[in-house]
């Protein structure tokens, strides 16, 4: 099955990867550990300076004692055609028209979701084995991320279709059909921890609104192993809070 899909990979895939790296302003190589690892991102390129000098970085360790109140998230996701991409740092699902969210009167369109193991965000110093980051963008270009935490348990049906199509090689893309509804990734309860932070990968740009759903969903040991076969560890260490307040809803 995999080798058959490999045959379908055309030169435009490589072109698309180059173009997206250029669009992001950099094609500088970075990793999670070692010389180009998270401790050195800020030194790798001038445009990565926020990774080192930023004062509102992500992820963070969420201490439930530092909480206030916030408004609920209105979820309006819908089934969309999707494409599964191995981008060299994670497995990402790009959605053509997956709907979006509304928070405090602002609307954000769901652009993509991707995974980190272990979860980048910690809750009371505890990290989960996996997290999905659902990345949304407003018309003004503002970013809002919803994080879904996974604890080990039963097989996750929503992940099954995504993980079955994970491309093994960086730069590969596979179509994921036309009927993926991101709602299937969400837990039943939608309460969340909210704070303002950054992208957790270079260039670590700030001003990102984070919403970490409190209720975890389940992922099986086999599903975790399948993801970790591609990415054993792709989580940035937690960053200083620097006086930021985490709001909790409800
Ligand atoms: Zn992420």
CATH of 2-249, one of 3.40.50.1980, 3.10.200.10, 3.40.630.40, 1.10.274.10: 3.10.200.10
Q: Name residue 145's beta-bridge partners.
A: 135, 210
Q: What are phi and psi of 226, to 5 degrees?
A: -65, -40
pLDDT of residue 156: 97
- pLDDT given for residue 183 in this prediction: 97
H or E stretch covering 159: helix 157-164
CA of 131 to the centre of ligand 1 (A): 8
Instruction: State residue 19's pLDDT score.
Output: 36
**Cα(89) to centroid of ligand 1, in Å?**
10
Kindly write down the DSSP assignment for every residue of 30-65, as one continuous string. --SSSTTSGGGHHHH-GGGTHHHH-SS-S--EE-TT
CA of 118 to the centre of ligand 1 (A): 11
Helices (H) and strands (E) in the chain, counts: 6, 15
Q: What is the pLDDT of residues 24-76, one digit of tens each?
A: 445 899 999 999 999 999 999 999 999 999 999 999 999 866 666 789 999 99
| Given 89, 136, 174, 211, the catalytic residue | 89
Record the pTM. 0.88
Residue 50, pLDDT score: 98
CA distance 123 to 116: 15
Predicted pLDDT of residue 67: 65
Residue owning tokens 């921890």: 193
Cα separation, 190 vs 101, whole angstroms: 12
- Catalytic, 89? Answer yes
Other Cβ atoms less than 10 A from the Cβ of 109: the count is 17
In the prediction, which pLDDT does 70 show? 80
Closest CA to 37 of 170, 239, 199, 202: 202
Question: Which residues are bridge partners to 114 per DSSP?
Answer: 92, 133
Rounded to 10°, the helix 157-164/221-230 angle is 30
Q: What does the domain layout of the chain look like in residue ranges? A: 2-249
Query: Within the chain, which residues score under 50 in pLDDT?
Result: 1-25
| Full DSSP string of 201-239 | STT--EEEEEEEESS-EEE-HHHHHHHHHH-S---PPP-
Nearest to 59 by CA among 219, 244, 217, 231: 244
Query: Could you tell me which of 149, 221, 234, 225 has the C-alpha nearest to residue 191?
Result: 149
Rounded to the nearest angstrom, the distance between the alpha carbon of 115 and the centre of ligand 1 is 6
């Amino acid at each position: 099955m995999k080798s058959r899909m490999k045959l379908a990979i055309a030169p435009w895939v490589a072109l698309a990867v180059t173009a997206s790296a250029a669009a992001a302003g950099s094609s500088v190589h970075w990793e999670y550990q070692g010389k180009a690892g998270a401790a050195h991102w800020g030194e790798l390129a001038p445009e990565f300076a926020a990774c080192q000098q930023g004062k509102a970085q992500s992820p963070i360790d969420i201490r439930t004692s530092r909480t206030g109140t916030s408004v609920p998230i209105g979820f309006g996701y819908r089934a969309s055609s999707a494409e599964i991409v191995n981008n060299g740092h994670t497995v990402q699902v790009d959605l053509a028209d997956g709907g979006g969210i509304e928070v405090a009167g602002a609307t954000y369109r769901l652009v993509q979701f991707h995974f980190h193991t272990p979860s980048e965000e910690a809750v009371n110093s505890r990290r989960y084995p996996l997290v999905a980051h659902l990345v949304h963008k407003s018309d003004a270009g503002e970013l809002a991320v919803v994080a879904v935490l996974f604890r080990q348990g039963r097989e996750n049906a929503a992940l099954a279709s995504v993980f079955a199509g994970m491309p093994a090689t960086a730069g590969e893309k596979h179509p994921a059909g036309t009927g993926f509804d991101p709602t299937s990734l969400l837990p039943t309860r939608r309460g969340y921890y909210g704070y303002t932070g950054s992208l957790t990968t270079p260039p670590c740009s700030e001003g990102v609104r984070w919403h970490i759903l409190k209720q975890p969903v389940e992922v099986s040991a086999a599903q975790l192993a399948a993801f970790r076969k591609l990415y054993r560890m792709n989580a940035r260490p937690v960053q200083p809070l620097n006086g930021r307040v985490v709001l909790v809803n409800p």
